[in-house]
Amino acid sequence: MAPHAEIDSTSANGDGHPIANGAATNGSSNGSSAGPLFTVSSPNVVYTDSEIHSKYTYRTTKVSREPSGKYVATPQETLYDFKVDRKVPKLGAMLVGWGGNNGSTVTAGIIANRRGLVWETREGPRAANYYGSVIMGSTMKLGTDAKTAKDVNIPFHDVLPMVHPNDLVIGGWDISKLDLAASMDRAAVLEPTLKAMVRKEMAEMAPLPSIYYPDFIAANQEDRADNLIPGSKASWAHVEQIRKDIREFKESHDLDKVVVQWTANTERYADILEGVNDTAENLLKAIEEGHEEVSPSTVFAVACILEGAPFINGSPQNTFVPGAIELAEKHGSFIGGDDFKSGQTKMKSALVDFLISAGIKLTSIASYNHLGNNDGKNLSSQKQFRSKEISKSNVVDDMVEANSVLYAPGEHPDHTVVIKYMPAVGDNKRALDEYYAEIFLGGHQTISIFNVCEDSLLASPLIIDLVLVTEMMTRIKWRSQSTGEAKEEDDFKSFNSVLSILSYMLKAPLTPTGTPVINALAKQRGALTNIFRACVGLEPESDMTLEHKLF
C-alpha cells in the first residue's frame, strides 16, 4: 500500500476504456483543450496568455447619523484592479482524517467521477456526479441573450480558470491505519456495487500517521488510534513532521500546490490563555513547551501556515486561536473555517433569513439531531458536543441583529441544539427543527421540518468546493486604484489571510479581525458569485430586470 497514493488522472471507465482528464482552462470542461467558455468585451478587461486583468468599480453606501437621529446615505465608489493567473495548477488536497467517513467518500467519489462510473442500486442505475457542489453543480447568470432577452446561465466552474476535481491528487493523515478501501467499508456510506468498482484503487491508499492528543478527542475514539506520530501533546517535532509530510507529498506527485483540510473528529474547545495562544509568538512558544491547551488541529494549522499551504478547518472547534490567526497574517498564508455547513444548518440559515426578511419574528428555534456515524459517537462526549453546539447556535445572530424593527438591541430567539448518538441510523442523520414565530396581531406560526441527511454525501462536495475556491484565491491579486496615482506592478496583493469568501460552505465562518460575520445564506452566495464576477470585469448580479420593465 502506498501512503497518500495518487488517484491516477488517466484511468479506465467501467468498460475498460481510458478517459484522459486534463486540467481545465478558463471556462473549459475537464479534459477539453478548448478556450474559455466566454470572454468579456470591455475596455476594462484585458486578456493575456497568462492573466486576466480587469478594472472594477465597487459601489457602496456610507451612512452617517445626524444629532437629530436621522441618517445621511452617501454613495461611494472605489476603483479596483484585479489580476487573475490563468494557469491551472496541478493541485493536491491533503485531508486530516483521510480515513474517516468524509475522506473515504470524497476519494471514492472522485475516482467514480473520473472513470465515469455507473452502478446498479435497488432503485435502478446511478451515475457519478458532483451534485451538492456549488462549484460543479450550480450555475451563474452571465447576462441576457442579445436576441431572445432570456437569461444566459453558465456553470459556476466556468467563470474563472479553476482546477477540476477529477484532477485532484488526494492524500492525508489519519489516526487509524486502515487503508481507504477498509475505511470505506467501515464508514458504510456507499452502495456495495460502487464500492466494488473502486475497491482496487482505494486499497492501494493508506493514510500517513497523525497526531493524537487524548484530552482533545472523546475517549471512545481511542480504539481507532493505531497510526500515530509519537507524542501525546503538542511539540515542535509534530510541526516539523507535518511540514515534512506536505513537502514529500508535493514532491512525490510533482504538485504545484497543496491545500490541507481538517476533516477529522470534533475536538473540545481550547481555552484562550494569555501568554499561551493569544499571540503568534506565544503560540509557537507554547507548542515548543508542549502546553496542554494546544490542540492537534492548531498544530496542523501552524505547520501549514509555516509551510505556505492553505489550511481549512471543517470541524467546529476553535482551531484558529488568536495566535494562529496572527501567525497566518504574518506569513500571508490562507486559512478558513469553521465546520462544514451541509444539511440542517444550511436549511436553518436559509429559512431564518427568509422569515426575518419577510417581517416574521422568530421567537424560538429548537434543533434535534440523532446520527449513528463516528462523528455522532465522538459528539456523545459533552466537551466535543459543546464545540458543535456553539457552531450550530450562532448561525442566526447576524440576521436577527439586522432587523431592528422585530428585535430590540440584544434580543434573540430562544435557540437550543440537541445531538444524540444512535448507531442504528448510521450515516443517515435525522434532523428535526421547530421554528416558532410571532405574526400579525399576536398570532403565531410554527414550522416543523424533518430532514434526513446522508451526512457524508452532503459534506463531501463541500470539501471539494473549499479546496477549489481556496486554490483559486491563491491566483487572484488586487489593488485599489486612486485617480492621479502611478501604480507599479508590485502594488498588487493577495486577499486577507482569513478567507471569508468560504462562508457559504461553513457553519461558523471565520472573518478577518474587525469585520462582521455573515451567516445569511443569500449574502454568502452573493459574495462568492460577485467576487468571481469582479475578477472578469462583470457587474454584480442584478434581479431588477429593468431591461424588461422599461420597454
* Catalytic residue set: 339, 388, 429, 507
Q: What is the DSSP string of 383-430?
A: HHHHHHHHHHHGGGHHHHHT-TTT--TT---EEEEEEEE-GGGTTEEE
Q: What does the chain come to in residues?
A: 551
Of all residues in the chain, what percent are helix, strand and coil, respectively (each to 5)? 35, 25, 40
Cβ neighbours of 25 (radius 10 Å): 19
Cβ neighbours of 381 (radius 10 Å): 18
Nearest to 429 by CA among 392, 393, 403: 392
Cross-strand bridge partners of residue 125: 120
The answer to whether 305 and 311 are in contact (CB under 8 A) is yes
C-alpha cell belonging to residue 120: 446498479
Q: What distance in Å separates the CA atoms of residue 115 and residue 13, rounded to the nearest whole number? A: 4
- Determine how β-strand 71-85 pairs with β-strand 476-481: antiparallel
Q: Measuring CA to CA, how many Å separate 352 from each of 230, 461, 506?
A: 46, 24, 16
Q: Measuring CA to CA, how many Å separate 507 from each of 304, 375, 391?
A: 22, 16, 6
What's 430-496 look like in SS3?
Answer: EEEEEEEEECHHHCEEEEEEEEEEEHHHHHHHHHHHHHHHHHHHCCEEEEEECCCCCCCHHHCECCC
The C-alpha angle 469, 474, 476, rounded to 5 degrees, equals: 95
Position 285: which residue type?
K
Count CA atoms within 13 Å of residue 410 on its CB side: 0
Q: What distance in Å separates the CA atoms of residue 458 and residue 133, rounded to the nearest whole number? A: 9
Cβ neighbours of 312 (radius 10 Å): 30
Q: What distance in Å separates the CA atoms of residue 200 and residue 180, rounded to the nearest whole number? A: 10
The answer to whether 98 and 182 are in contact (CB under 8 A) is no
Left if phi > 0, otherwise alpha if psi is -120 to 50, otherwise beta: which for 188? left
Q: What distance in Å separates the CA atoms of residue 420 and residue 385, rounded to the nearest whole number? A: 10
Task: Burial-class residue 494 by CB neighbours within 10 Å (0-12, 13-18, 19+).
Answer: middle
User: How would you label 229-256 residue by residue, b for 16+ Cβ within 10 Å and e otherwise?
Assistant: beeebbbeebbebbbebbeebbebbebe
